[in-house]
Amino acid sequence: MPKKLDYASLYTLRSDGRYQGYWRDEDGKRHALCDRDPARLHERLAEKEAPKALTFRDIAERWEAAYRETVTTRTWKNMQPHYEALLDKWGSLPVAAVTATEIIADLQAAKAKGYSRTVVNTRKVIITGILNRALADGIIPYNPALSVQLPKGLPHGKRTAPDDAVVRAVLAGKDLPFGFFPFLLLCTGMRKSEALALRKSDIDTKKALIHVDRALTYISNSAPQTKLPKSGKPREIAIPSILAAPLEAYIAPLEKNDLLFRQPPSNRSRGGGYFSEHSYEHAWLEYCRAANLLDADGKPLITAHHLRHATATLLYEADVDVYTAQRILGHSKVSTTMEIYTDLRDKKQAESVEKFSEMMAKKMAGTENITE
């Protein structure tokens, strides 16, 4: 018959009559635990020392803390609803229970909701990142998300260019407060982040060129920072004649290294320096209000990216070849520009066919009248 374990001898008897033992958490920190019954204390300590099955939420929170330090606040703002939805769905599951089958089902459900390819891919990026963290921490032996493909037939989310009335309003409103900013974007096709980082020294009025070698970015809650443009390399943009004289007049009072667009003073700040996200959004809203570019709910009808798409449309309509357009817009791959041009060409073809159909219908109607 096996000898009965003397639990009392394993632990320290305190002056209050309770036995005390210790256990260590995941980080190796030691914690005391007490009980008047040494056998029960032994059981409780065994439960504490048993390895915890880490949940999807446990790993997700580790991943989020590190990942948010690498992306802009705007990027995370777009990702956050999907991150939170995944926590609601899988948060309490052991992370090892999130299999390829589970991931495929989630992406298919996102497709069924009508999400675009970009949005569904964002969801997959989040899942992949969290499971990569679990893999790096030795929680799972492999990442099942790496073997999962996006569902076929996902719609491509496309932003449409603003109509002619909006384009005219932007061109006419260059002297409004902050109005030169959208005017510059429309005339050059620059990204918002690139234009916000421009200094007077980047403008070569003699050669009629704008040198773009940096872009503004906002990471976490830190101050605005600069990085390379999205394409990963500098480029030069020719200054069109419609922009030349207004741009020269705009930069004339500035010092060589002055920013073209400086944060205005407010109750929170004395102004100067790069725009904060909050200040930019306020300036854009007030510009749209002054230019009558707000919708019925008081929201801007356009964004900076809408104007970039408008520039691409105008380049196409002006018969600018796709490779020149690529350099102006700063696309890293010509296929991106080609996709925009193809969409515009298809739209124009559909409009032409519709006009042809209307003309034929009128002729048919006319022929019928003659016959009568």
DSSP E strand boundaries for the chain: 12-13, 19-24, 30-35, 203-204, 209-212, 215-217, 225-227, 235-238
127 has a pLDDT exceeding 80:
yes
Classify residue 55 by its DSSP letter.
B
- Return all residues near 92 (Cβ < 8 A) that are at least 6 apart: 55, 56, 57
Selected residue with higher pLDDT from 353 and 63: 63
* 283-325 tens-digit pLDDT: 999 999 999 999 999 999 999 988 988 888 888 888 888 888 8
pLDDT per position as a tens digit, 261-282 = 999 887 777 778 999 888 999 9
* Spacing of C-alpha 36 from chain mean position: 57
Q: Phi, psi (5° rounding) for residue 164?
A: -60, -35
Nearest to 214 by CA among 72, 231, 337: 231
- The full set of domains in the chain, from first to last, is 56-147 (1.10.150), 164-334 (1.10.443.10)
C-alpha 67, offset from chain centre: 13
Average pLDDT (95-106) is: 95
Predicted local distance difference test score (pLDDT) of residue 345: 66
Q: Tokens 């076929």 sit at which residue?
A: 152
More confident residue, 270 or 207: 207
| pTM for this model (two decimals) | 0.65
Q: What gap in Å lies between CA 63 and CA 142, rounded to an integer?
A: 16
pLDDT at 371: 43
| Arithmetic mean of pLDDT over the chain | 87
According to the model, what pLDDT value does residue 26 have? 67
pLDDT band at residue 51 under the 50/70/90 scheme = low
SS3 279: helix
Give the model's confidence band at 50: pLDDT under 50 very low, under 70 low, under 90 confident, else very high. Answer: low
Q: Which residue has the higher pLDDT, 6 or 60?
A: 60
Cα distance between residue 12 and residue 116, in whole Å = 63
DSSP β-ladder status, 19-24 and 30-35? antiparallel
pLDDT range class, residue 24, cuts 50, 70, 90: confident
Buried b (16+ CB within 10 A) or exposed e, 322-351: beebbebbbbeeeeebeebbebbeeeeeee
Among 5-14, 218-227, 338-347, name the one with the lowest average pLDDT.
338-347
Q: Give the three-state DSSP class for 227.
A: strand
DSSP3 helix / strand / coil % (the chain, rounded to 5)? 55, 10, 35
The tokens for 78 are 């777009």
Q: Provide the pLDDT for residue 10.
A: 85
Q: Which tops the pLDDT comparison, 63 or 28?
A: 63
Greater model confidence, 368 or 144: 144
- What is the percentage of the chain residues whose pLDDT exceeds 90? 54
pLDDT at position 8 over 60? yes
pLDDT tens track for 74-96: 888 889 999 999 999 999 999 99
Cα 245 from Cα 112, distance rounded (Å): 52
